[in-house]
């Protein structure tokens, strides 16, 4: 089996609870907030990346990603995300949304040249495998309401407010 199929995963504590981070040889492939049992999360990861994918645990890797996201640690985080070309276009656009700001689903659709594909954009956003690294939480409804989030609206609001505070720090 090629080394790129191996998945390394680990856990780290963030200001918003425990996260699980997984990576292949090429980059981070999964990042989730743990809102339920760790074993269930690892099982979900195994289903996404293949039942027989060899895995190892490295909390050091996960802690490095946590510092890059939440502590401003200047460390590039390469990604290895799997998706359709459309999903990848949406996810790429999400990475262009500056920290501390939000845009609407309609705006994301316009930015990728598909202004009528708002529902497809929302679906692609919902399938983002790497929370925070592809900042899907920065996309809200046109009326300013936060909309859905895999880990709940309360966490999405907290993340948006936290990022606004980070931008305001000297």
> Could you give the CA distance from residue 63 to residue 18 in angstroms, rounded to a whole number?
10
Q: Containing H/E element for 7? A: strand 7-14
> Computed from CA positions of residues 27, 156, 169, 70, in that sequence, does the dihedral angle turn out positive or negative?
negative
Question: Catalytic pick from 97, 108, 136, 160?
Answer: 136
Please write down the HEC assignment for all residues of 46-115.
HHHHCCCCCEEECHHHHHHHHHHHHCCCCCCCCECCCCCHHHHHHHHHHCCCCCCCCEEHHHHHHHCCCC
CA 124, CA 80: separation in Å to the nearest integer? 16
Cα separation values, 116 from 128, 150, 163, Å: 20, 24, 29
- Residue 136 annotated among the catalytic residues of the structure: yes
Q: Is 90 left (phi over 0), alpha (psi -120 to 50) or beta?
A: alpha
Q: Give the catalytic positions in this structure.
A: 136
């Amino acid at each position: 089996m090629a080394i790129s199929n191996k998945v390394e995963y680990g856990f780290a504590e963030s200001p918003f609870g425990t996260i699980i981070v997984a990576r292949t040889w090429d980059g981070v492939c999964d990042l989730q907030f743990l809102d339920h049992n760790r074993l269930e999360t690892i099982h979900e990861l195994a289903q996404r990346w293949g039942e027989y994918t060899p895995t190892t645990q490295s909390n050091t890797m996960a802690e490095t990603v946590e510092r890059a996201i939440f502590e401003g640690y200047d460390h590039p985080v390469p990604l290895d995300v799997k998706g359709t070309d459309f999903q990848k276009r949406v996810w790429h656009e999400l990475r262009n949304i500056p920290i501390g700001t939000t845009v609407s689903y309609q705006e994301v659709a316009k930015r990728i040249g598909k202004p009528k594909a708002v529902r497809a954009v929302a679906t692609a956003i919902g399938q983002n495998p790497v929370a925070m690294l592809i900042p899907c939480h920065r996309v809200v409804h046109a009326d300013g309401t936060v909309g859905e989030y895999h880990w709940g609206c309360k966490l999405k609001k907290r993340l948006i407010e936290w990022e606004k505070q980070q931008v305001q720090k000297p």
